[in-house]
Structure 1
Amino acid sequence: MHIGYVRVSTEQQHTERQEILLEDVDKLFIDRCSGKNTNRPELNKMLSFVRSGDVVIVESISRFARSTRDLLHLIDILTKKDVNFVSMKESLDTSTPSGKFMLTVFGALAELERETILLRQREGVAIAKSKGLYKGRKKMINSEFDRIFTQWTEGKITATQAMRKLSWSKSTFYRRVKERKETQ
C-alpha cells in the first residue's frame, strides 16, 4: 500500500501543492502543525497504520522531519516495520543502498536549513530590538483573570484550577500574578 504524508506548519497554509504530488497514494495523512518534533497527530496515526511492505511517500524530507535525529528515528521506525520511504523532491528511496545513504545527507541539509532560518530570525529580532521596534510577543489577555485571581488568592480554587480556567501555562500564570502583585 502507498501511504502519503503531508505537513504544513500552520492552519492557514495550504496543502494542495503536496496533495497534488501525492494524488496516486492509497491513503493520505495530513498534519497542520510544526515539524520541529515528531509529536504530530497524523504522523503518529500514519506510523501506527503502516504495515510490512507499505511505502510511505512524502513531497520532501523537510515535510517529514526537521532534524536529522528525528528523520533517522522515523526511518528506523519504518524500517523495523519493513516499510520503505520515498521522498519525491529528493528522488530518494530507502529500498536502495544509495537511497539510505542519501537520506542521511538530505536529513542533515534539512536540519541546516531549519537552523539557518532560526538564526536569521534571531538576528532580525535583535536588530528590531536595538531600534526599539520589537516589543516581544503580545501578552495573553484573559478578561477573567481578575475574577479568577481573586478566587485563587482567597483560597477558593487552586493554582492548577486557575491555570486551567484561563487556559494558561504555569509560567504565564505566575508571571501575571507577579505583575499583578507589583501593581497593587
Structure 2
Amino acid sequence: MKIGYIRVSTAEQNTIRQEILLRDLGVDEIYIDKASGKSTDRPELKRMMEYVRYGDTVIVESISRFARNTKDLLELVDKLRQKEVEFVSKKEAIDTTTPTGVFMLTIFGAVAQLEREYILQRQNEGIAIAKSQGRYKGRKPIEHPDLKSTVVQWRAGEITATAAMKRLDMKPSTFYRKVKKF
C-alpha cells in the first residue's frame, strides 16, 4: 500500500496542496496532522507508524513535513525500515530502498534542521529589535470578564479548579498564574 503523510503547523493552514500531490501519486490512505513538526508526538503520525506494515511505502511531500530535525527523521525512517516499509520524499526525490537514498536522506534532514534553526534565529533577532524599539509587547493577556467571580467561587470551595478552568476556557498553567494576582 502507498501511505501518505501530511503535516501543516497550525489548524488554520491548508492541506489541499499536499493532498492533491499525494492523490496524484496514487496513495491509498492519507494521515493528516495539524501540529508543529518539532516533536514526533503527533496523533496521526503515531497512527500511521502503527498502521504501516511490510511492503508499504510512506510518501511525504517533503522531509520538513515529516520531521524538523535530523535525529527525529532518522529515527522515524529507521522504525519504518525495521518494519520493511519504504520511505519516499517527493520534493527531495529520496527513496530509502537504496544506500544513496539513505545517505541523501541524512543530508537533506540536516539541511532541513539547519533551515529551521535559521528561521528561529531570525525570528528571535526580529523580536529583540522590535522590543528595543518598543514595538513588540508580546501577545495580549487573556482577560475573562468572569475571572474574579469564578476565582472567588473556587476559593470558597463552591466549584472545583477543573470546573473553574472549564468555565473560563483556560489551561491549568494560565488559570493558576491568573489566580496568583488575586
Report if TM-score (shorter chain) is over 0.5: yes
Query: What is the distance in 1 between the residues matched to 2:176 and 2:87?
Result: 45
Q: 2:88 aligns with which of 82, 86, 89?
A: 86
Q: 2:138 aligns with which of 136, 146, 156?
A: 136
User: Which residue number in structure 2 is paired with residue 17 of structure 1?
Assistant: 17
User: Which residue number in structure 1 is paired with residue 74 of structure 2?
Assistant: 72
Unaligned runs of 5+ residues in structure 1 are none
> C-alpha deviations, 1:68-120, integer Å up to 9, x for none?
12111211221121111000111101111111111111111111111111111
- 1:156 Cα deviation (Å)? 2.7
The amino acid that maps onto 2:15 is T
TM-score, with structure 2 as normaliser: 0.91
User: Which residue number in structure 1 is paired with residue 5 of structure 2?
Assistant: 5
Change (3 A) 1:178 1:15: same
Mapped pair 1:49 → 2:51:
yes
Q: 2:65 aligns with which of 49, 63, 66?
A: 63
Query: What is the distance in 2 between the residues matched to 1:144 and 1:79?
Result: 54
Name the SS of the counterpart of 1:5 in structure 2: strand
User: Which residue number in structure 2 is paired with residue 31 of structure 1?
Assistant: 33
Tell me the percent identity.
Answer: 61
User: Which residue number in structure 1 is paired with residue 179 of structure 2?
Assistant: 177
Query: What is the distance in 1 between the residues matched to 2:53 and 2:92?
Result: 24
- 1:135 Cα deviation (Å)? 1.0
